[in-house]
Amino acid sequence: MKEQKPALTDKQEMTSDPPAESNTQITDPTDMEYVEGAESGEEEEDGTYNLTDLFDEEKQRVAWEEETQQVSKHKKKKKKAKWWERKRKRGRTGEAEEEVEEGEEEGKVKKKKREARPRPNYFVAIRVSTEEIHRGLKAVQDAVLEQEPNLQPAMIPLINMHITLLVTHLREEQVDRAKEALRLAKARLNPKFLRPDNRLVLTFQGLGTFRNDVVFAKIQQNGHLTSLRELAETVQTCFVEKEVCSKNDKGFEPHLTLMKMSRNFGKLRSKGIKKIDPKLYEEFQEERFGDQVVEGLQLCSMLKKKEADGYYHTEEQVMFGPSSAELVQRKLRAQGRYLTADNRDRIAAVVRRLISQGHKSN
């Protein structure tokens, strides 16, 4: 007979040694495998971590924030680099910009091509040269700079003051057609503005802003402002007819800019200037700056070398009323004499030069 082993008592059962081996897998992180070396505070050779670091909420929070900030900065930097690259490409080649949009189905990509619009390089303007207006606007600029000198790059030189009626992009071969369009606009507007009692006089009073990026002098709301809108519409119609401009349905908002962020955005941002604070010019909000009589229109280039007086290069200028050549011709006819085409061109050139010199003296 086999010898039976004596049964263990409860006390003996509790104090007996555990089995030498076990097939049970340890999955709980609080088991002994993770506890060894807990005082070291470092990663163990087997890739495990000690409990002190693993469950220290403050350390985990700080580590998570640092990692999140690094990822966020990297994404922003990458996004900004792509944006600048697209901008440089559009400005350099004018090629089509490709937009990629994720489709609803996974992995589906929809591509759309949009023609990049060429940047405007010409504009039609009414020059604002009245000395009284210049003095008033300079007072505003000086007051702003006294409070915030870093805004100097945003200031528009007084010599360049104008009201923009239209902006467009012209190729070199289109410039002559644009000149024709300006002369056509004069022919259509002349009957209205030829009469001395119907002169177009713009009164500038008060200041306004576009999103605190642009500060401008307002044009007083009256019948003359209505006439100015009609004038701008006529100019645009003539340019569209000559196929040197596309129809703009956004509406015409006439204003006289005296400072703007986009004039030197990079330099202003580097000095910590992001917007133009309205408090800097609040004392001039209702200031009256003066009147400007509209005597003619100019077709100006944004990129060509400026005139001797600092104003934009003027490709063509038309004045309301009869031209000087026409006045001379009338006088000669009264004397039984006639003016040749060559002489008319010479007189017109002399008159334009005299007008330019007059603006420079102002």
Using the predicted structure, report yes or no on whether residue 232 has a pLDDT greater than 60: yes
Outline where DSSP puts E strands in 177-261: 201-210, 214-219, 256-260
- pLDDT score at 246: 84
Q: Per-residue pLDDT for 158 more than 60?
A: yes
pLDDT band per the 50, 70, 90 thresholds, residue 242: very high
Please report how many Cα atoms fall inside a 13 Å half-sphere around the Cα of residue 129, on the Cβ side: 18
CB 315 within 8 A of CB 175: yes
Distance of CA 346 to the CA centre of its chain: 42
| pLDDT band, residue 346 (cuts 50/70/90) | low
* Range with the poorest average pLDDT among 216-220, 252-256, 300-304: 252-256
Q: Who has greater pLDDT, 38 or 272? A: 272
pLDDT of residue 56: 57
Q: Which of 6-15, 182-191, 289-298, 311-320 has the lowest mean pLDDT?
A: 6-15
Is the predicted pLDDT of residue 327 greater than 60, yes or no? no
pLDDT in the model for residue 251: 76
Are 284 and 140 in contact, with CB atoms under 8 Å apart?
yes
The tens digit of pLDDT for each residue in 66-109 reads 766 776 667 777 777 777 777 666 554 444 444 434 444 444 44
- Kindly tell me if the per-residue pLDDT of 15 is higher than 80: no
- Flag whether pLDDT at 135 surpasses 80: yes
Choose between 17 and 237: higher pLDDT: 237
| 4, pLDDT greater than 60 | no
Q: What's the CATH number for 122-319?
A: 3.90.1140.10
**For residue 192, what pLDDT is reported?**
78
Residue 216 has pLDDT above 50, yes or no: yes
pLDDT at residue number 103 = 44
pLDDT at 13: 47
pLDDT at 54 over 70: no
Nearest of 335, 343, 282 to residue 144 by alpha carbon: 282
Share of the chain above pLDDT 90, in %: 46
The backbone torsions φ and ψ at residue 153, rounded to the nearest 5 degrees and listed phi first, read -65, -15
At residue 211, the 3 state secondary structure works out as coil
Higher pLDDT: 242 or 54? It is 242
Banded pLDDT at 188 (limits 50, 70, 90): very high
CA–CA distance, 275 with 126 (Å, rounded to integer): 28
Burial 52-62 (b: 16+ CB within 10 A, else e): eeeeeeeeeee
Residue 314's pLDDT band, with cuts at 50, 70 and 90, is very high
The answer to whether the predicted template modeling score (pTM) of the entire model surpasses 0.75 is no
Please answer whether residues 232 and 187 qualify as being in contact, where contact means their C-beta atoms are separated by less than 8 angstroms.
no
Mean pLDDT of 161-189: 95
More confident residue, 300 or 223: 300
Average pLDDT of the chain? Answer: 76
Task: Select the highest-mean-pLDDT range: 16-20, 73-77, 118-122.
Answer: 118-122
What would the mean pLDDT of 223-231 be, rounded to a whole number? 91
Which own/partner contact pairs does 281-286 have at CB distance under 8 Å and 24+ positions apart? 281/140, 281/143, 281/144, 281/207, 281/215, 283/143, 284/139, 284/140, 284/143, 284/207, 285/206, 285/207, 286/205, 286/206
Q: Where are the domains of the chain?
A: 122-319, 322-362
- Provide the pLDDT confidence category of residue 279 given band limits of 50, 70 and 90: very high
Q: What is the mean pLDDT of residues 105-133?
A: 75
CB of 161 closer than 8 Å to CB of 137 = yes
* pLDDT bucket at 197, cuts 50 / 70 / 90: low
pLDDT exceeds 70 at position 18: no
Give yes or no for residue 19 having a pLDDT over 70: no
pLDDT at 21: 46
Q: Beta partners for 126?
A: 163
